[in-house]
Structure 1
């Protein structure tokens, strides 16, 4: 809970940093940097959408619900899985 509040505060001031903390280095951060350069509001909308998907998927996994559909506009596997590490030895 505290990490989510801290993430929101960081995202308010620097949207690309908030996206980086959730999704890592990839297409999502590049898209957010471009949107932030085009205007401060589009960068915020994208950043909060990425964070919403991340925490929603994380909560669904904790409740035992697995949604294998891809969230539109999200390119990070970390966000799509709710922070669950994907790779060898994991069972979907």
Structure 2
């Protein structure tokens, strides 16, 4: 009787463990996307605003992931026009 109880508890633990892992894996496999409501370029003195906007790849209404935002920052740094970039 004691062993059955231990086996039952172990089975419950394993079931819950794999269930939690499944939910966590599902959350990581689908990157969260956000919708851009506005694009505002401030403090620009060296480049045309449209150049910055086009190189970022970000526009109003576009759905983007964290990877898209990182790519936008990388593209802007590649222009070598800025001392700071914030998105």
TM-score tier by shorter-chain length is: under 0.3
Structure whose alpha-carbon radius of gyration is higher: 2
TM-score, L = length of structure 1: 0.25
- Say which structure is richer in helix: 1
TM-score, L = length of structure 2: 0.26
- Say which structure is richer in strand: 2
